[in-house]
Structure 1
Amino acid sequence: MKALLLPLLALGVVAAFTLAADPASSPPLKVLMVTGGCCHDYENQKMILAEGLSARANVEFTVVHEEGPEGKKDKMHKISIYEKEDWAKGYDVVLHNECFGGVTDVEFVNRIAKAHHDGVPAVMLHCSTHSYRAAQTDEWRKCLGQTSMSHEKNRDLLVKNVAPEHPVMKGFPSEWLDKKDELYKNDKLWENFVPLAKAFGEDTQKDHFLVWVNSYGKSKVFGTTMGHNNETMSDPVFLDLVARGLLWSCGKLSEDGKPVAGYEAKQK
């Protein structure tokens, strides 16, 4: 499989990753990946995710990558695609891998969440959980399924599977060492939050859930706060997990944790 990098829109950095078409199978899921912001290597992570997930599921990516003025990483930046009322129109799912915790514009944040409330599934990775936390609205937090305002220091995390029968966790080990990552603290779990995996907090001396699913309005949401560094993002266990979560959010994951027919990765 080859990933094609094509300019699409004047939105900062936008790219399309498309697998070769197979007329005998289902059309690929159209995935909008929104990425950029503070504190992470999004330039490489967008490629890791697009290529890794395309190797695991029948998906087609459009990537919107913005950092801020003059390309500087800026937690206050407001990604331009979100200025449109119908910003998610035409996509089957949105993958959020962004870090804009300083944004305070309530109308802007509510508009992002509204697309998901109205029915567009979401995949939430790592700092997306801390994005928009300065805004005085709970809609993004309800969309995520949890409120989190801080994380523990970067260290190895022993991740424990607490829902092995859930389709998203089929194939995930009972325990997995996530090297050099950040454990996000669960300050509040909203009513539709379903925990899938946890790790123990050294600061708080209690467990925090770092993989979950959620329902928000008409949409299904998969989330994980793992993925601070490229090593975690590149790990087959992580990519398998995110692929299952993405398919689950779109209703394309079987109970056995496998893609439904037509949504397996395309053959080379």
Structure 2
Amino acid sequence: MRCSVLAVCFLLYGVSLPAAEPIRALMITGGCCHDYEHQKQIISEGVSQRANVTWTILHAGGDKRDFEVPEYRNKDWAKGYDVIVHNECFGAVTDPEFVKAITAEHFKGVPAVIIHCSLHSYRTSGAADAWRELIGVTSKSHEKARPEHVVRLDLEHPVMAGFPKVWDTPNGELYKIEKVWPNCTPLAIAVGVESENQNPVIWVNKFGEAKVFGTSLGHHNETMNTPEWLDLVARGTLWTVGKLGEDGKPLPGYEGTGAKPIILQPLKPIPEPASNTK
């Protein structure tokens, strides 16, 4: 009660309340088939414009499919972070104990945001289903690249506040969803052109003690770098850590710096090796 009275007094006399501690996010990114150099910029800048998030970015593995991020082998590898953002593509990792070390930290309660090719990561390991249970859906393949016709399902969930009832993405790569796990709630679907199935493309999930937000949307930079996608992922991130209001807006102190266009930095060219080093 005393805290409420103090807050009212601060507001009446124009005194600012202390700023909230930023949400500490760790982004794991890298692997094959995607422009992760630019995507880490889009995600970190775009989400921080919309939510009070600070970032540690771990970009590793080059374009390898079988790279094992060394940090995952550390005990309590997620300690010190409020949420882990998975935007990685390591589909050929086979060590089940390595994958279990990832999922174990989340099962204990570390929230997760799952983006696009993370769905297809670790799918050849003996612990593939533990990873899929964390994500909330199982996918093993995708359709050809084309825009996705996204249809919103849940009109009440705060993660979907402000999201269009129908959204045609600028480009896309629809992931075929073979299974929705019991604790997963789909929030939007897209119908496959090739399969004609309804595939969840946005969802929320519960894995052990952790809240999980996931979307298969985001193969192309032009889809990620839109207000629809960035607003969605910012709300999803806030939801996983309990900082999203029922109205879909950040709780006080967790607003971002303000949305503005993200200008992608050109990648530095790789110098040609000297002839005597080839």
TM-score (normalizing by structure 2)? 0.85
Q: 1:266 Cα deviation (Å)? A: 3.9
Identify the residue that residue 206 of structure 1 maps to in structure 2: 197
String of CA shifts for 1:73-102, please: whole Å, max 9, x gaps.
Answer: 101000111111211000000000000010
**RMSD over equivalenced CA pairs, Å:** 1.4
- 1:53 paired to 2:47: yes
Identify the residue that residue 85 of structure 1 maps to in structure 2: 75
- Equivalent of 1:165, from 138, 151, 156? 156
Alpha-carbon distance between aligned partners in 1 of 2:34 and 2:238, rounded to the nearest angstrom: 25
Q: 1:154 Cα deviation (Å)? A: 0.4
Alpha-carbon distance between aligned partners in 2 of 1:204 and 1:172, rounded to the nearest angstrom: 26
Partner amino acid, structure 2, of 1:236: P
String of CA shifts for 1:219-245, please: whole Å, max 9, x gaps.
Answer: 000000000011011111100000000
Counterpart secondary structure, 1:155: coil
- Equivalent of 1:242, from 233, 236, 245? 233
Aligned-pair identity in percent equals: 53
Alpha-carbon distance between aligned partners in 2 of 1:266 and 1:174, rounded to the nearest angstrom: 27
Identify the residue that residue 136 of structure 1 maps to in structure 2: 126
Counterpart secondary structure, 1:44: helix
- 1:32 paired to 2:26: yes
Q: 1:262 Cα deviation (Å)? A: 1.0
4+ runs deviating over 4 angstroms: none
More helix by share: 2
Q: 1:188 Cα deviation (Å)? A: 1.0
Q: Cα–Cα, structure 1 residues 73 and 267, in superposed 2: closer, same or farther, change >3 Å?
A: closer
Identify the residue that residue 185 of structure 2 maps to in structure 1: 194
Q: 1:265 Cα deviation (Å)? A: 1.1
Identify the residue that residue 73 of structure 1 maps to in structure 2: 63
CA contact (8 A) 2:148 2:171 kept: yes
Partner amino acid, structure 2, of 1:190: W
Partner amino acid, structure 2, of 1:238: W
Structure 1 residues not aligned, in runs of 5+: 1-21
- Greater Rg by CA: 2
Identify the residue that residue 17 of structure 1 maps to in structure 2: none
